[in-house]
Amino acid sequence: MKRLSQLLIYRGSRIEQQNMAWNMLGSFCYAFASMVLSFLVMRLAGEDAGGVFAVGYSAFGQQMFTLAYFGLRPFQVTDGGVENGGYAFGEYRRFRKLTVGLAVAASAVFSFWMAAGGTYGGEKALTVFLLALYKIIDGYADVYESEFQRQGSLYLTGKSNTFRTVFSVAVFLGGLIWTKRLAWACLASVFAQALGVAACNFSVIGALPKVDYGCRKGSIRRMLSETGLLFLSVFLDFYIFSAAKYAIDSRLNDAASGYFNLIFMPTSVIYLVANFVIRPFLTRMTMCWNQGDMKGLKKIVAKISGIILGLTVLALGGCLCLGGFVLRIMESLLGSGYEGALSVYQPAFTVIVLGGGFYALANLMYYCLVVMRRQRLIFLVYLVTGAGAAILAPRLVSQFGIPGAAFSYCLFMVMLLAGFGLMVLGKLAKTR
């Protein structure tokens, strides 16, 4: 492990280039793995297995990730440390252990409840639990990767994402090909994920020179009081993001979940590209806000917004011109028997791409409010939008199927962007 940490840590002078390059590679691998797995599970194990994977990995599993993650990354990476009234890494790590335990318990209860009630079969319940566990381990790794970024070593976060993702995906696919059973493949990937965290996070953090492992009395309670609304906001955020998927799982069938997950994939690409731009600027945005440099902050926000808008227009134009062609290629990759299964949803595909652009902009506004420490405003926007999602998503899916799910997703992203955007503009206007 010590040898591995020495290999991972960069000792050159061009640290910014390393941060940017590895952050891009790690984020790409993380998003690309989801897309590849969605295809291959459906191709290797069938459309129903693809739907179970979509629910367990991209919906419920990611929801449990948010419970373990607790929305703390933007809070942790913008924390100036104990000397500036913030928290030590040891305090973040101890807090994360509590949230991880809660997430594991919630996953077990949910899976048992769905199986006992007859909503899920036994194997589907087990598979959903294992996929949630995989994501929860990823949520625990995040406390280390957030600390890497706070210490100015974002490249270590990218390396961890890259190596852990490649290793666990390889083990998952090997298990699926060998056993032909999705549950066994998920079990193998859980062990691979745990091993990857030990190798890429546990062994590396000790090699960094400025990590504070202390944990003061009462700090966990204080952290909970300061971040509780932030967590509820992030939890609601992912519920809103996945409300259409949950509605399909409850109102349609497993195959429909799998198909919707495939046409939903462009949102991951748009969000991935947006994160390439946003994350490296978080520290600079925090410095501008703390130093009262509103002109600098507005300039950064305007620059990032322009990039996201431009990319969204390009993606939407490409979707309108080539969307049908792309969907037919996806059908051919799935194999025989899937002809026309996706291309029929080209209008829904276009609407989802548009919604992805709105979501990327909404996340930029969200990060601005986090930097400003406006947790109550964030929670208010999520609460209103979440209530709308709970009411509208099931009705639209029941009435219009997958196209209704696509429209509901885009609608909720517009609501988030409008809420956050108005809050940010209001705060910036008051600081002129």
Tell me the whole-structure pTM to 2 decimals. 0.82
The span from the CA of 126 to the CA of 306, in Å, is 44
Helical spans, DSSP H, in 78-218: 89-116, 122-150, 154-179, 182-197, 203-205
pLDDT band for 157, please (50, 70, 90 cuts): confident
Q: Per-residue pLDDT for 2 more than 80?
A: no
User: What 8-state DSSP symbol labels residue 79?
Assistant: -
pLDDT of residue 8: 55
Residue 388 structure tokens: 């709308």
Mean pLDDT over 200-209 rounds to 83
pLDDT band for 73, please (50, 70, 90 cuts): confident
Q: Provide Rg for the chain, Cα atoms.
A: 21
Measured in whole angstroms, the distance separating CA 128 from the mean position of its chain's CA atoms is: 17
Instruction: Return the domain boundaries, the chain.
Output: 1-216, 228-432
Amino acid 198 reads: A
Range name among 9-18, 138-147, 359-368 with the lowest pLDDT average: 9-18
Are the beta carbons of 248 and 407 closer than 8 angstroms? no
Structure confidence by residue, pLDDT tens digits, 20-50 = 788 778 877 877 787 788 888 888 888 888 8
Mean pLDDT over 369-373 rounds to 80
Interacting residues of 201 by C-beta distance below 8 A, sequence separation 6+: 141, 144, 145, 160
The span from the CA of 419 to the CA of 429, in Å, is 16
Q: What is the mean pLDDT of the chain?
A: 86
Are the beta carbons of 70 and 95 closer than 8 angstroms? yes
pLDDT of residue 1: 52
**Percentage above 70 pLDDT, the chain:** 95
